[in-house]
Amino acid sequence: MRLRSKGLGKLELPMELAVAELEAGSDALSLRGRIVEGKVNWDYVVLMDCGDILAFTRVAGDPGVVAFLARERGVSFLLGLMLPALRFAGCLLVSLLAPRVLAPCTARPGEPDLVAYTREMQA
């Protein structure tokens, strides 16, 4: 991703999101990295809340974006995008279904309480 800066003479600066540090906070995801280009050596932070992430997924699923990617990178690139999408879908299903599946389970004396453990992990 490239960031344009009109204040620096219309300089384009690289934001290497693939190597940025990702942290999930209580209300947003943060991507932290460094832009190094010529005389520029800046730290950056991108904060994304749930609405931002939803907007990105809507943009990614737009037919025009899919056509652009197919034209510029080929069908094999689009197929390569399927693995992260499937991983996301799997994580989503587990996070939605695990509490419902484990809820009827009650721990016997001396056994770990899986429901309490799951709730702790979600908190």
- Distance CA(50)–CA(28), nearest Å, equals 7
**Domain ranges for the chain:** 1-60, 76-123
Which of 10-14, 75-79, 114-118 has the lowest average pLDDT?
114-118
User: Taking residues 10-24, what's their average pLDDT?
Assistant: 86
The confidence score (pLDDT) of residue 63 equals 92
Q: Which pTM value belongs to this model?
A: 0.59
Q: What does the pLDDT look like over 65-85, one tens digit per residue?
A: 999 999 999 989 988 888 888
* Residue 84: Cβ within 10 Å count: 9
Distance in angstroms (rounded) separating the CA atoms of residues 89 and 31: 22
